[in-house]
Each structure stands twice: as structure tokens, then as C-alpha cells.
């Protein structure tokens, strides 16, 4: 696929995530592998306004950035997973409700549906602790370490990261992850673990004063 069409396919996928209620506002991000890095959605621009040229290119080592917007604040999750997993060519991070509920419980979701085996490779692991989005590098390291050889991951108290060999596959992985999480949450009825008060205050400060301004 040529670059502009690929960029447009990312925008179309963003709009689909909004349509199906997996993302509200700009809390989500999508990337595709491109050249020796990735093309990723920018920070803080609503999906309805996105144009292909708004997306940002980031090299695999993070040193080269092309584009006039700031790359998504969660770019390190994407970048480090691409670096660790050469077969993955698309990553979708959303904040869908049941996958986030499962991420609040903090368990790995065991392989409870056939689609999980086929698309995800078995269980959906979870990061071992909450890392705020403001700690980009730490969150990226935690994610790339925790996902192992699976195609989906739950970020504690945050949401799912879903991968595929192409964008269409990553989008299906999102739906399969949400369905598995729904089954797990509804059938186990476990209590969610809240975010520590210090991180609640930090999250509010990040949103008001730092979001979209930091790299
Ligand atoms: Zn997020």
C-alpha cells in the first residue's frame, strides 16, 4: 500500500473505534509499521479532523520524527513492541470498557474463546503494575516486556493493546479482546483495583498541564 493510502487506513480505523465505542475523544492510538519505523496518530487531535498528513512518522530507535504534530504520548508502547516483534505490522490501543475492566482486575485473561487461540496465541497477559501514561518510556518497557509472544495485552488500570500482521487483523484482535474480557469480567465478577491516590493526582495534573506538550 502506498503511504497516503496507508495513513488514510489508520484514520478510517480510528473512526471505526469511535463508532463502536472503543475510544472516546483522543484516548486511543493506532500505528502501522512503515519503512524502518512506524506511522502513528498524533496527540490531542480529534479523529474527525485527522488528515493523512497529520500522522507522525517515528523511527524504530525513536530518534527520527517526521511530521508537524506531536506523536501520540503512548508512542513508546508501539515503538518498543515493533522493535521486539518483527512479525507485528499494526498496533491498536483503545480504552474499550470490558478490556479496561479486566485491566482493572489485573489478571491475565486465560484462553477462554477459540478466537483467542487463533488470533492472540492464547491468554491475554496483563502488565504487573499500573504505570501512568505520563511515564511514556516506563510504560513502553512494561508493555513490550509483558506482551511476550501474544498479540494482545492489558495495561493495568488503562486499557488493551492489540496487534496484528496488518491493521485489519489488529482491529479484529481488538474486538476479540473486548469479547474475551467481557466474558471474563461477567463470569468471574472480580473486584477492580483502583489507582493509587498519588497517581490519581498526577493524572489530573498531566491532563491539565502536560498532556500534548511533552514527548
Ligand atoms: Zn491509553
Phi, psi of 15 (to 5 degrees): -65, -35
CB atoms < 10 A from the CB of 189, how many? 7
* Residue that has been written with the C-alpha cell 485491566 in this structure: 103
Check 2, 3, 48, 74 and give the catalytic one: 74
First to last CA, the chain: 29
pLDDT at position 66: 95
Is position 87 annotated as part of the catalytic site? no
Multiple choice CATH, 3-210, 3.60.15.10, 3.40.640.10, 3.40.225.10, 3.40.309.10: 3.40.225.10
Q: Which residues pair with 163 in a beta bridge?
A: 91
Average pLDDT over residues 93-119: 97
Q: Say how many Å lie between the CA of residue 63 and the centre of ligand 1.
A: 22
What is the CB-side half-sphere exposure of residue 46 using CA atoms within 13 A? 4
Give the whole-angstrom CA distance, residue 104 versus residue 93: 16
Among residues 164, 22, 182, the alpha carbon closest in space to that of 113 is found at: 182
Confidence of residue 214 (pLDDT cuts 50, 70, 90): low
Q: Say how many Å lie between the CA of residue 84 and the centre of ligand 1.
A: 20
Q: Say how many Å lie between the CA of residue 159 and the centre of ligand 1.
A: 6
pTM (two decimals): 0.96
Average pLDDT over residues 12-29: 93
pLDDT per residue over 109-151, tens digit each?
999 999 999 999 999 999 999 999 889 999 999 999 999 999 9
Q: Say how many Å lie between the CA of residue 58 and the centre of ligand 1.
A: 18
Give the E-state strand segments of 133-202 in sequence order.
152-155, 159-164
Q: Say how many Å lie between the CA of residue 156 and the centre of ligand 1.
A: 10
Confidence of residue 210 (pLDDT cuts 50, 70, 90): confident
Strands 56-59 and 159-164: unpaired
Q: Say how many Å lie between the CA of residue 186 and the centre of ligand 1.
A: 23
Amino acid at each position: 500500500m502506498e503511504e497516503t493510502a496507508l495513513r488514510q487506513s489508520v484514520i478510517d480505523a480510528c473512526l471505526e473505534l469511535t463508532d463502536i465505542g472503543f475510544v472516546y475523544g483522543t484516548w486511543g492510538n493506532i500505528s502501522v509499521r512503515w519503512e524502518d519505523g512506524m506511522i502513528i496518530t498524533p496527540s490531542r487531535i480529534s479523529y474527525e479532523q485527522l488528515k493523512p498528513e497529520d500522522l507522525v512518522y517515528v523511527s524504530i530507535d525513536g530518534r527520527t520524527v517526521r511530521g508537524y504534530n506531536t506523536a501520540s504520548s503512548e508512542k513508546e508502547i508501539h515503538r518498543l513492541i515493533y522493535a521486539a516483534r518483527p512479525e507485528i505490522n499494526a498496533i491498536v490501543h483503545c480504552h474499550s470498557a470490558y478490556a479496561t475492566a479486566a485491566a482493572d482486575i489485573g489478571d491475565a485473561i486465560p484462553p477462554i474463546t477459540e478466537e483467542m487461540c487463533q488470533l492472540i496465541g492464547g491468554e491475554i497477559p496483563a502488565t504487573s503494575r499500573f504505570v501512568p501514561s505520563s511515564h511514556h518510556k516506563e510504560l513502553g518497557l512494561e508493555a513490550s516486556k509483558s506482551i511476550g509472544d501474544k498479540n494482545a495485552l492489558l495495561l493495568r488500570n488503562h486499557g488493551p493493546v492489540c496487534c496484528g500482521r496488518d491493521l485489519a487483523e489488529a482491529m479484529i484482535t481488538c474486538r476479540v479482546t473486548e469479547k474475551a474480557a467481557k466474558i471474563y469480567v461477567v463470569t468471574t465478577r472480580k473486584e477492580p483495583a483502583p489507582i493509587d491516590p498519588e497517581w490519581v493526582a498526577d493524572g489530573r495534573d498531566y491532563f491539565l498541564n502536560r498532556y500534548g506538550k511533552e514527548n
